[in-house]
Amino acid sequence: METAVDKLENMFSKSEADLDVIEKRLTVELINHTEENGYSREESPIVMLERLRDIKDKYNVLRSQMTEVEAAQKVSILSIRDNLNSIMELVQHFQRTTSVEVHSVADSVQQIEELVHSVGDA
């Protein structure tokens, strides 16, 4: 069994080395073809592929940062909602236990709560 595994490993290693050689040959041929046809270095398919890889890497970084921002935003919205709910409960408790009516504060908190809910649902 180990002999078969060793043979497979050797075959994969040889295949990987062959692919590396092919890649290097293709790179040299593309560079030569670009120079022979009078294209600038920027027009080289190799350079374009490198730029594409760079763009993909930057895109992946931005996407991961956006995911982090989105998660932080959700946490913030939940925290704001919880705080607003607590404020509303305090205002309602204050109104029940005293004869003072706090409509302006309650209305403002209600408007803020509606705004936060609309942002959180978007």
Cβ contact 111:119 at 8 Å: no
Cβ contact 88:113 at 8 Å: yes
Please return the burial class of 97, using the count of CB atoms within 10 Å of its CB with bins 0-12, 13-18 and 19+: exposed
Using CA atoms in the order 93, 95, 100, 103, what is the torsion angle rounded to 10 degrees? 120
Tens digit of each residue's pLDDT, the chain (122 residues): 578 777 878 888 889 899 889 988 888 888 787 777 777 777 777 788 888 889 999 999 999 999 999 999 889 989 988 888 888 888 788 878 887 666 666 677 777 777 777 776 65
Cβ contact 87:109 at 8 Å: yes
Q: Give the Cα separation of 44 and 70 in Å (integer).
A: 38
> Considering only CA atoms, which of 40, 60, 38, 36 is closest in space to residue 48?
40
> Considering only CA atoms, which of 20, 49, 48, 44 is closest in space to residue 31?
44
